[in-house]
């Protein structure tokens, strides 16, 4: 099992424009303090256009063929920059090898 999440991005990686999905996902993970591995997954298959059936490994892992995809340490995946950004903001990084659970409980409420 991996010790930290793995972010799968396209060949544009961080070199694309600010609104590019792969760049936004990486920036959000870094800004939230998450340590992650990065794999440039789609060399030679630009832009995610006309990729149906051309990324079978990605489909087997995540159930779809578009990037970015974040694979968590437990093997589950989060697809798409919006969901990755939301996860990065909602999940606090902890010591290497694990992540804190997301809780909707307000710590000001005290113990029950």
Residues 1-35: pLDDT tens digits? Answer: 568 999 999 888 777 788 899 999 999 999 999 99
Q: Which CATH number fits domain 6-109: 3.30.230.10, 3.40.50.300, 3.40.50.10490, 3.40.30.10?
A: 3.40.30.10
**What three-state secondary structure class fits 13?**
coil
- Please tell me whether the overall predicted TM-score, pTM, comes out greater than 0.85 for this model: no
Q: In 16-82, where do the E strands start and end?
A: 37-40, 69-71, 77-79
Q: Which residue in 70, 65, 3, 61 sits closest to 30, CA to CA?
A: 70
Give 105 or 58, the one with higher predicted confidence: 58
């Amino acid at each position: 099992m991996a010790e930290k999440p793995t972010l799968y991005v396209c060949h544009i990686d961080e070199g694309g424009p600010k609104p590019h999905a792969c760049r936004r996902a990486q920036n959000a993970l870094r800004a939230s303090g998450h340590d992650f591995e990065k794999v440039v997954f789609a060399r030679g298959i630009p832009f995610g256009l006309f990729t149906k059936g051309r990324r079978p490994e990605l489909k087997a892992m995540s159930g779809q063929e578009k990037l970015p995809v974040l694979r968590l340490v437990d093997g589950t995946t989060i697809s798409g920059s919006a969901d990755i950004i939301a996860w990065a903001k909602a999940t606090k990084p902890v010591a290497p090898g694990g992540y804190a659970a997301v809780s909707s409980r307000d710590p000001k409420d005290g113990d029950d």
